[in-house]
Structure 1
Amino acid sequence: MPRVVVFDEFGGPEVMHLVEEPLAEPTADEVRVRMEAFAVNPLDRMMRSGASPAPVPLPHARLGVEGTGVVDALGPGVTGLRTGDPVLLAAVPDAHARGSYAEYVTVPASRVVGRPAGLGTTEAAAVWVAFSTAYGALVEKAGMRPGDHVLITAASGGVGRAAMQIARQIGAVPIAVTRHSAKRDELLAAGAAAVVATDHEDIARAVGRHTGGTGADIVLDLVRGPGQQDLLKAARPGGTLVAAGFLDPRPTPFPAGPPLTVFSYGSFEHTLDVVVVKRMTAFLDAGVRLGALRPAVDDKVFSLDAVVEAHRHLEKGLHAGKKIVVTVS
């Protein structure tokens, strides 16, 4: 029988274990995907440890919000897909029940999209969450336009790297924020037009220098917490801040300072909307085809049997912000 990763209690990576389950048949408007690989995301760690913002029912909870594979079976009423089609999982809001850490996943057909040509299995497993989140926050929510100066926090992480590439593709100017000056060259190579290292620079002054004194048109805050106040000072009056991350668990003070439009963003806001997903997919396909969009994947790839080690790799920070991938087949 097919194997799936589950956990029965909250805790460290060791709470995960593999079990066998009967192969589920897709019902009306569902597809069954034979998984080839999935990526490990911070949300997976939060769910496993009990820190998820949404309740996770126990026991026998699953994990995984993205991955890639091929269509294995179609339920009644499914059109536009065929068995054997390579696909990405575009939305798994019920990861505790349908998570991608498995050999087979059954989901509504509306929650898969075609795999971009030109991406290998490992890259495809790690592309959707980062790029759909960055695209949704910057393009759909903030209305990013060519020439906009875009300040991006946690820029060395998966979403931050994707945001820099997407800004470049649009014609905007990505300014990366990092806590460590040692990452400057890496971030410039990853697509940043400029880098602000907070261990040596004041954010507002540095952004002013890089924008000719006007400030950032858009701020993508992937961290939140008290540090958001410094980002607000770096934005131009009338600019936009999109809070799309949760890396700092401390309370985020109410935004104060120059007049700004402030949004809180979660990726499911758009990845459950088939019209927006169509735009996301077209943008991603074009970017991959042109060589402008590419996920950064950790050199160490894990097997399904080593999923516990993959989570330990994440917790130790050994991935240096790149996506960790687990292969299934």
Structure 2
Amino acid sequence: MARTIRFHRHGGPEVLTIEDVDIPSPGPGEVSIRTRALGLNRAEALFRAGTYIEQAQFPSGIGLEVAGMIESLGAGVEGLSPGDAVSLVPPRSMVSSPVHGELVTVPAELAVKHPPTLSWEAAAASWMQYLTAYGALIDIARLTQGEHVVITAASSSVGLAAIQISNRIGAIPIAVTRTTRKAEALHEAGAAHVVASAEENLEARLKQIAGEHGIRVVLDAVGGPAFLPLTAAMARGGVLIEYGGLSPEATPFPLFNVLSKSLTLRGYLVHEIAGAPARLAAAKAFILEGLGDGSLKPIIARTFPFEQIVEAHRYLESNEQFGKVVVTL
């Protein structure tokens, strides 16, 4: 038995409970991990609320990211040993593989031995944000040195990861945030430029920054009316990669911007990288190297003890955070 985060109906953070649950021993190709920290993501809030890309089956577990120590191995697992410090590549499904609990059993292929210099909190905050940003910017968009890249929801964990990855390869990150309240922190986090979309003319400001070459790559988590000014500021042949839908407003299709500039608007989920062994191996190498040399450094907004999981989810949805929300055990 182990304490596990579960919920029995959709709703706000208050539906989350901590329950004692039987955790199966690892089967062939699986490992059990005694967790030390849990990373929280918007995906979990959406899953809990019933608005995610998959629907919970009650009673439901939850969670995509943890770090901890391997407790036991199933048959056939190689390269890992009991006592290894590991963090997890996000599982494809929270229905079949929820990981927010004291003890979790998962496919061994998801466990990654992270650099020993990484804290439990940082390790639990790494894989969702860096895999998402790497997959979009490097694997798909092929962002290169000297290019401008627009990053919306820039103070989110993925936004900050995208800023760091852009700087690591010598690209020029333009952070888009609603107001100037987080502008100084975004500059300190590595943004070359910060645009406050609720206070400035987004299209005009982006065109001013990027000049005649325009912007080839946009990484967007918001959708909504900003599609029009974002695509208007893009270069011919540009790609807008959409990985979220934070805006409560309808998202217009920018038909004439797309036609006149031959733009690509592309939906993206991190699972397409995590589920492709060769692409995942390249991503792991890039991220582990960056975590090791310090060019990739998770920014933790706030930590909560395991017993305060409801408060942690409330903070996650407050939009007050700058970086990742982490729960510790």
TM-score, normalization by structure 1: 0.95
Q: Which amino acid aligns with 1:53?
A: I
Deviation at 1:212, TM superposition (A): 2.3
Deviation at 1:316, TM superposition (A): 2.7
Percent identical among aligned pairs is 38
Once residues 290 and 44 of structure 2 are traced to their aligned partners in structure 1, the CA distance between those partners, rounded to angstroms, is 27
CA RMSD, aligned part only? 1.4
Deviation at 1:253, TM superposition (A): 2.4
The aligned counterpart of 2:282 is 279
The aligned counterpart of 1:289 is 292
Once residues 150 and 316 of structure 1 are traced to their aligned partners in structure 2, the CA distance between those partners, rounded to angstroms, is 27
Once residues 200 and 317 of structure 1 are traced to their aligned partners in structure 2, the CA distance between those partners, rounded to angstroms, is 18
The aligned counterpart of 2:168 is 169
Q: Which amino acid aligns with 1:309?
A: E
- 1:192-207 matched pairs, under 5 angstroms: 192-207=191-206
Listed one character per residue, the Cα deviations across residues 95-118 of structure 1 (whole Å, up to 9, x for unaligned) are 134212101111111112122332
The aligned counterpart of 2:150 is 151
Once residues 305 and 278 of structure 2 are traced to their aligned partners in structure 1, the CA distance between those partners, rounded to angstroms, is 35
- Point out the more displaced range, 129-138 or 116-125: 116-125
Once residues 115 and 201 of structure 1 are traced to their aligned partners in structure 2, the CA distance between those partners, rounded to angstroms, is 41
Question: Structure 2 vs 1, CA of residues 46 and 222 (structure 1 numbering), >3 Å: closer, same or farther?
Answer: same
Deviating beyond 3 angstroms after TM superposition, the runs of 4 or more aligned structure 1 residues are none
The aligned counterpart of 2:304 is 302
In the alignment, is residue 47 of structure 1 matched against residue 47 of structure 2? yes
Listed one character per residue, the Cα deviations across residues 206-256 of structure 1 (whole Å, up to 9, x for unaligned) are 122212222112111111122212110111111111111221243322342
The aligned counterpart of 1:29 is 29
Deviation at 1:201, TM superposition (A): 2.0
Once residues 199 and 304 of structure 2 are traced to their aligned partners in structure 1, the CA distance between those partners, rounded to angstroms, is 36
Once residues 9 and 262 of structure 1 are traced to their aligned partners in structure 2, the CA distance between those partners, rounded to angstroms, is 35
Question: Structure 2 vs 1, CA of residues 255 and 110 (structure 1 numbering), >3 Å: closer, same or farther?
Answer: farther
1:110/1:274 contact within 8 Å kept: no
In the alignment, is residue 315 of structure 1 matched against residue 317 of structure 2? yes
2:55/2:95 contact within 8 Å kept: no
2:23/2:104 contact within 8 Å kept: no
Unpaired runs of at least 5, structure 2: none
1:91/1:272 contact within 8 Å kept: no
Once residues 291 and 100 of structure 2 are traced to their aligned partners in structure 1, the CA distance between those partners, rounded to angstroms, is 25
2:23/2:105 contact within 8 Å kept: no
The aligned counterpart of 2:188 is 189
Query: What is the SS of the residue equivalent to 1:154?
Result: coil
Deviation at 1:33, TM superposition (A): 1.1
- Point out the more displaced range, 222-231 or 139-148: 222-231
- Point out the more displaced range, 227-236 or 246-255: 246-255
The aligned counterpart of 2:269 is 266
The aligned counterpart of 1:236 is 235
Deviation at 1:276, TM superposition (A): 1.8
Deviation at 1:287, TM superposition (A): 1.1
Once residues 159 and 54 of structure 1 are traced to their aligned partners in structure 2, the CA distance between those partners, rounded to angstroms, is 21
TM-score, normalization by structure 2: 0.95
The aligned counterpart of 1:77 is 76
Unpaired runs of at least 5, structure 1: none
Deviation at 1:173, TM superposition (A): 0.7
2:227/2:253 contact within 8 Å kept: no
- 1:198-217 matched pairs, under 5 angstroms: 198-217=197-216
1:65/1:100 contact within 8 Å kept: yes
The aligned counterpart of 1:324 is 325
Once residues 239 and 21 of structure 1 are traced to their aligned partners in structure 2, the CA distance between those partners, rounded to angstroms, is 49
1:137/1:265 contact within 8 Å kept: yes
Deviation at 1:152, TM superposition (A): 0.7
Pairs aligned (count): 325
The aligned counterpart of 1:2 is 2
Deviation at 1:182, TM superposition (A): 2.6
2:146/2:171 contact within 8 Å kept: yes
Query: What is the SS of the residue equivalent to 2:307?
Result: helix
- 1:127-146 matched pairs, under 5 angstroms: 127-146=126-145
Query: What is the SS of the residue equivalent to 2:55?
Result: coil
Once residues 177 and 312 of structure 1 are traced to their aligned partners in structure 2, the CA distance between those partners, rounded to angstroms, is 24
1:88/1:124 contact within 8 Å kept: yes
